[in-house]
């Protein structure tokens, strides 16, 4: 019997809204991965549509937190980073990645629907570029891709050739693979597209868009992707596994008619991940 894989997960904890660590931890556990959190901030809710949020930045904790892990000689099979509360936290993530020398997945959480999250400092894209340069896999959405590349955001549907060109520009940041999520295509579909450095092999998975937007789907995607990669699946198979699971969860949530701010009811089909090989 093989030992359980482990992942150090650098992300925030939002008490309400199904995102960040509240989805990362159960998803990775369901996939047979021990997730060890490195919290970057604690918030009463996520920042998408709620007012009066209570929060605390945990930057001052991260140094001694990770130093304790070093003294314990902790070893991980993956480092997976997401939301960073400020620029100083990026150096802690880079240090963790260099120390562990394992699979590194960077979800450059910065914004959605053409806007950078208002709580983030304007310098954060530069720090995320540093993380992407050191990563094995990065998972930006279109908004984050524009921020990483310092390009204007474009919401217009894309051709396959335009997506391929965008993937190449993102690979130019230095990552070994890139997965671009939720790209509107000219035929009315949405796509998750991927490309590997080196031979620049690439592909895409298209799906019919649902008529509603839920927060936290990017966190879900990156979590399932990381779990699938740790279970030995290749990049294409991992992308498909993540996309299929999230689409089903969104269909379930849409049918229930719950408040979109509360996120995707992924708990209802979490069992699907336990048998995903």
* Predicted confidence (pLDDT) at residue 194 exceeds the cutoff of 70: yes
Rg (CA), the chain: 17
Q: Note the pLDDT tens digit of each residue in 228-260.
A: 999 999 999 999 999 999 999 999 999 999 999
Within 13 Å and on the Cβ side, how many CA atoms surround 116? 20
Question: Cα–Cα distance between 232 and 203 in angstroms, integer?
Answer: 19
Q: Is the pTM of this model over 0.95?
A: yes
SS3 readout for 25-88: HHHHHHCCEEEEEEEEEEEEECCCCCCCCCEEECHHHHHHHHHHHHHCCCCCCEEEECCCCCCH
Per DSSP, the three-state class of 123 is: coil
What is the distance, to the nearest Å, from the Cα of residue 78 to the centroid of all Cα atoms in its chain? 14
Tens digit of each residue's pLDDT (9 = 90 or more) over 112-157: 999 999 889 999 999 999 999 999 999 999 999 999 999 999 999 9
Q: Tell me the CB-side half-sphere exposure of residue 73, using CA atoms within 13 A.
A: 0
16, two tokens: 């309400």
Q: Report pLDDT digits (tens) over 73-120.
A: 999 999 999 999 999 999 999 999 999 999 999 999 999 999 999 889
DSSP element (H, E) containing 224: helix 217-230
CA distance 35 to 47: 24
Report residue 277's pLDDT band, with 50, 70 and 90 as the boundaries. low
| Virtual torsion, Cα 208, 210, 216, 222, nearest 10 deg | -10
Q: How far apart are CA 203 and CA 194, in angstroms?
A: 6
Two structure tokens written together for 129: 């570029």
Q: Which residue has the tokens 């053409």?
A: 114
Q: Put the strands of the sheet holding 103-106 in their side by side order.
A: 55-57, 33-45, 5-16, 78-81, 103-106, 137-138, 177-184, 190-196, 202-207
Per-residue model confidence (pLDDT) at position 49: 85
CA gap 75, 57 in Å, rounded: 26
What is residue 276's predicted lDDT score, i.e. its pLDDT?
47
pLDDT tens track for 22-72: 999 999 999 999 999 999 999 999 988 899 999 999 999 999 999 999 999
Domains within the chain, CATH numbers bracketed = 5-274 (3.40.1190.20)
């Amino acid at each position: 019997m093989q030992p359980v894989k482990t992942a150090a997960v650098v992300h925030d904890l939002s008490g309400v809204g199904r995102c960040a660590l509240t989805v990362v931890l159960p998803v990775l556990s369901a996939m047979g991965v021990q997730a060890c959190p490195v919290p970057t901030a604690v918030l009463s809710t996520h920042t998408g549509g709620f007012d009066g949020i209570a929060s605390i930045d945990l930057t001052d904790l991260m140094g001694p937190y990770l130093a304790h892990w070093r003294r314990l000689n902790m070893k991980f099979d993956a480092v997976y980073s997401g939301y960073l509360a400020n620029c100083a936290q990026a150096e802690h993530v880079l240090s963790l990645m260099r120390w562990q020398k394992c699979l590194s997945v960077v979800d450059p959480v910065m914004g959605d629907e053409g806007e950078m999250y208002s709580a983030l400092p304007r310098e954060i894209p530069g720090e995320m570029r540093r993380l992407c340069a050191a990563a094995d896999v990065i998972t930006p959405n279109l908004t984050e891709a524009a921020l990483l590349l310092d390009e204007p955001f474009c919401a217009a549907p894309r051709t396959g050739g335009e997506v391929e060109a965008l993937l190449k520009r993102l690979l130019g940041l230095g990552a070994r693979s890139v997965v671009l999520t939720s790209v509107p295509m000219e035929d009315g579909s949405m796509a998750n597209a991927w490309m590997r450095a080196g031979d620049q092999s690439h592909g895409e998975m298209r799906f019919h868009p649902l008529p509603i937007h839920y927060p936290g789907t990017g966190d879900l995607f990156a979590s399932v992707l990381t779990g699938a990669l740790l279970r030995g699946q290749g990049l294409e198979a991992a992308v498909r596994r993540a996309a299929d699971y999230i689409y089903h969860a969104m269909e379930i949530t849409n049918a229930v008619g719950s408040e979109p701010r509360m996120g995707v009811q992924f708990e209802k089909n979490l069992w699907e991940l336990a048998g995903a090989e």
